Chain A
Amino acid sequence: MTMGEFISLHAGELLGLTMEHLVLVLVSTGIAILIGVPLGIVLTRKPALSKPVLGFANIMQTVPSLALFGFLIPLNIHLFNVKILGGIGARTAIVALVLYALLPIIRNTFIGISSVDPAIRDAGRGMGMTDRQLLFQVELPLAMGVIIAGVRVATVICVGTATIAAAIDAGGLGRYIFRGLRANDNLLILAGALPAALIAVGADLGLGYFERRIQLGGAFKAKSPKLVWSSAIVVLAFVAAAYFFAAAGGKRIAVGSKDFSEQVILGEIIAQGIETQTALRVERRFDLGGNLAHEALVAGEIDVYPEYTGTALLAILKSPPLKDPQEVYRRVAAEYARRFDLVLTEPLGFNNTFAILVRDEDARKLNLKTISDAAKISGNWRAGFGQDFMSRADGYPGFARTYGFHFNEVREMDLSLTYRALAEKQVDLIAGNSTDGLIARYGLTQLIDDRNYFPPYDAVPVARRDTLTKYPEVRAVLKKLGGILTVEQMRKLNYAVDGEKRQPKDVAREFLVSKRLLSRTDPAP
Chain B
Amino acid sequence: MTTTDDQAAIEFRDVSFALPDGRTLLSHLNLGVQPGETLVLLGRSGSGKTTTMKLINRLIDPTSGEVRVEDRSTLDWDPIQLRRRIGYVIQEIGLFPHLTVEENIGIVPRLEGWAPERIRDRARALLKLVGLDADRFAARKPRELSGGQRQRIGVARALAADPPFILLDEPFGALDPITRREIQREFKTLQRELRKTMIFVTHDIAEAFLLANRIALLKDGAMIFLGPPEELLRSQDPEARAFAEGFSNAQIAGSPV
Contact = CB atoms under 8 A, between A and B. Distances in A.
Given A126-B57, A128-B108, A129-B111, A219 B83 contact: no
A142 B81 contact: no
Nearest to B142: A218
Given A119-B90, A122-B90, A218-B143, A127 B111 contact: yes
A141 B103 CA distance: 14
B93 interface: yes
A123 interface: yes
Contact of A218 (B54, B83, B97): B97
Interface string B203-241: 000000000000000000000000000000000000000
Nearest to A124: B96
B98 A125 contact: no
A119 B97 contact: no
A127 B97 contact: no
Contact of B107 (A127, A130, A220): A127
Chain A contact residues, majority secondary structure: helix
A217 B98 CA distance: 7
Interface string A451-487: 0000000000000000000000000000000000000
A194 B107 CA distance: 50
B219 to A, nearest CB: 24
Contacts of B95: 123
Interface in B6-60: 54, 57, 59
A138 interface: yes
Interface residues of B, number: 26
Contact of A125 (B59, B108, B157, B167): B59
B80 A142 contact: no
B98 A126 contact: no
Contact of B108 (A122, A127, A219, A221): A127
B59 to A, nearest CB: 6
Contacts of B97: 120, 142, 218-219
Contacts of A217: 98
The CB with the most chain B CB atoms within 10 A, among A128, A217, A218, A219, is that of: A128
A221 B80 contact: no
Contacts of B157: 127
Nearest to A118: B93
A123 B88 contact: yes
A128 B80 contact: yes
A141 B104 CA distance: 14
Contacts of B59: 122, 125-126
Contact of A130 (B80, B82, B91, B94): B80
Interface in A310-345: none
Contacts of A123: 88, 90, 93-96
Contact of A120 (B79, B80, B94): B94
Interface of B: 54, 57, 59, 79-84, 86, 88, 90-91, 93-98, 107-108, 111, 141, 143, 157, 167
7 closest A-B pairs by CB: A219-B98, A128-B83, A123-B94, A126-B88, A128-B84, A119-B93, A218-B98
7 contacts: A122-B94, A124-B96, A126-B88, A127-B157, A129-B80, A142-B98, A218-B141
